[in-house]
Amino acid sequence: MSLLLVAKNRDFTSLKNALLEKDPNLDVEIWPRVENKERIHFAVCWNHPDEVLGNYPNLRGVSSLGAGVNHLLDDESLSPDIPICRLITGSLQDQMAEYVLNTITNYRLHIAEYFKQKEKGIWKQHSSIPKKNSPVGIMGLGEMGLNVATLLVQQEYTVNGWSRSKKDIEGVTSYAGKNELSDFLSETKILVNLLPLTDETEGILDLDLFKKLKKPGYLINVGRGDHLIEEDLIYAFDMDYLEGACLDVFEEEPLPQNHSFWNRKQIMITPHIAAITPAKEAAEMLVENYKRAMSGMDLMYEVDREKGY
């Protein structure tokens, strides 16, 4: 029985070492050099090539190498009977909360502007945006969003959250479902997208949504690039619905060199690094789920295919 690591352009050395440290008896294979496809019982995938999973007839489970699973649910070669799970670790959640808090602080204090001023030797002060004028709205209150919300409440931000089902989280005003989306947006200035990418959420960050924020708003997209209608972001700047955005995820990654976002002064870009699973922590969960799959148990953080997350 083997565990297979599959990804395009990824060096799996540290993950393989961490897996073997956790369980020296594990047989770990790295795609595409797989001698006996029948021996593969569990696959761990990130940005994997289409259709590849259909080649392994004895798969009993598949894990994402991250929290998102849209790449796995989109793969039609993966039989619907095979359970899919996500990789959630404490440090993934903490990194995400830290990224969002830092981005909000940088925005409120105009830090990006000071970087630009330094390049030109300009000494000019800007008034920071007070916390009380910076209500944050988090779309998605799951494993990531809840942690972000908790940290922001501790930091005394006004926090609104939007999800499918209503939540009871101390310090967070909860809005749920499409009917409450407009109310959520009208109470939000800094919008954080932490939704999973599903049929319902694809393209949700559009002009109509930006129009409903407290003006001018600020967008932090750490969900997926396909949540955002890219040209609507530009219209939203032009119409002063938004004054800035920090984007960590893109329709196409790496973001192409000739993409117009690179030259937009309002956009801060990070290369999909908001939260990255450390190999050692990833190995602990992967080995646990591998063992569960081998013994026919439910997987940890198993995905509900109906809901799509």
d(C-alpha 65, C-alpha 116), whole Å: 36
Q: Which of the listed partners (ligand NDP, ligand OXD, none) does 140 bind, with a CB threshold of 5 to 8 Å by partner kind?
A: ligand NDP
Q: Which of 224, 227, 264, 292 is catalytic?
A: 224
How far, in whole angstroms, is CA 212 from its chain's centroid?
23
| Region from 61-69, 111-119, 181-189, 281-289 binding ligand OXD, contact rule CB under 6 A | 61-69
Dihedral of the CA atoms 204, 208, 213, 219 (nearest 10)?
50
- Please enumerate in sequence order all residues whose Cβ is within 8 A of that of 146, keeping only pairs 6 or more positions apart, or say none: 167, 169
Least separation in angstroms between residue 99's CB and ligand NDP is: 8
Least separation in angstroms between residue 273's CB and ligand NDP is: 7
Q: How many residues of this chain bind ligand OXD (CB under 6 A)?
A: 4
Residue nearest to ligand OXD (CB): 66
Least separation in angstroms between residue 98's CB and ligand OXD is: 14
Cβ closest to ligand OXD, residue 78 vs residue 236:
78
Q: Which of the listed partners (ligand NDP, ligand OXD, none) does 164 bind, with a CB threshold of 5 to 8 Å by partner kind?
A: ligand NDP
Least separation in angstroms between residue 300's CB and ligand NDP is: 13
Tell me, what amino acid is at 137?
Answer: G
Cβ closest to ligand NDP, residue 216 vs residue 308:
308
Asked whether 88 and 147 are in contact (CB, 8 A), the reply is no
Contact residues for ligand NDP (CB under 6 A)?
66-68, 88, 92, 96, 140-145, 162-165, 194-198, 200-201, 222-224, 248-249, 272, 274-275, 309
Q: Which of the listed partners (ligand NDP, ligand OXD, none) does 137 bind, with a CB threshold of 5 to 8 Å by partner kind?
A: none
Q: Which of the listed partners (ligand NDP, ligand OXD, none) does 225 bind, with a CB threshold of 5 to 8 Å by partner kind?
A: none
CB-count burial class (<10 Å; 0-12, 13-18, 19+) for 62: buried
Least separation in angstroms between residue 234's CB and ligand OXD is: 24
Verify binding: residue 286, ligand OXD, rule CB under 6 A: no
Verify binding: residue 66, ligand OXD, rule CB under 6 A: yes
- 272 carries an active-site annotation: yes
Least separation in angstroms between residue 214's CB and ligand OXD is: 28
Verify binding: residue 68, ligand OXD, rule CB under 6 A: yes
Q: In what order do the strands lie in the sheet with 84-85?
A: 28-30, 2-7, 40-46, 61-64, 84-85
Q: Which of the listed partners (ligand OXD, ligand NDP, none) does 31 bind, with a CB threshold of 5 to 8 Å by partner kind?
A: none
Residue nearest to ligand NDP (CB): 142
Q: In what order do the strands lie in the sheet with 159-163?
A: 172-176, 159-163, 136-139, 190-193, 217-221, 242-247, 267-269
Supply angle C-alpha 118, 255, 87, rounded to 5: 105
Cβ closest to ligand OXD, residue 28 vs residue 72:
72
| Residues taking part in catalysis | 224, 272
List residues near ligand OXD by CB under 6 A: 66-68, 275
